[in-house]
Amino acid sequence: MKKIGIIICNRYHTCGGGKCLRALHNREGAFARYKGEEVQLVGYTTCGGCPGGNVEYVPAEMKKNGAEIVHFATCTIVGYPPCEHLEAFTRFIPAKYGLEVAIGSHPIPQNYYLTHQALKTWQSNKWQQRIKAALTDEKTRLAYD
């Protein structure tokens, strides 16, 4: 069984996690990588607000609960502006805790996709790599609007 943790952007601290949990259940978006596997969510929290104070210690608790992978939720890439600290987080967590980091959770909703396309937010190779796991077809994006 694969055990994962999810860290969301603090701007969305009141989010009930419905899209993330639905995508995990359906193995959609960045959770498509777990098709055919059992997955257990062992932690779910916010980053703590910029610059991500919870990221410094929350992965330790997730690891104690068996987490192997920490997902930064899709809100970290679709919010405006997208998280400016993702690169640091994706270096820090593996170095400090030995955990894999994945960017994305549920599929990118179509309304966010269109906004970021218009703003040209994700044109660089760096951003194309970051959104890759959560970028799906239009039908799926619309289902997550």
The CATH number of whichever domain residue 138 belongs to comes to 3.40.50
Question: Tens digit of pLDDT for each residue in 9-31?
Answer: 999 999 999 999 999 999 999 99
Structure confidence at residue 131 (pLDDT): 97
On whether the CB atoms of residues 131 and 104 are closer than 8 A, the answer is yes
Question: Tens digit of pLDDT for each residue in 124-133?
Answer: 999 999 999 9
Separation CA 72–CA 90 (nearest Å)? 9
pLDDT band at 56 (very low <50, low <70, confident <90, very high): very high
Average pLDDT of the residues in 21-42: 98
Number of domains in the chain: 1
Output the pTM of the full model.
Answer: 0.96
> What is the residue range of 91's domain?
2-143
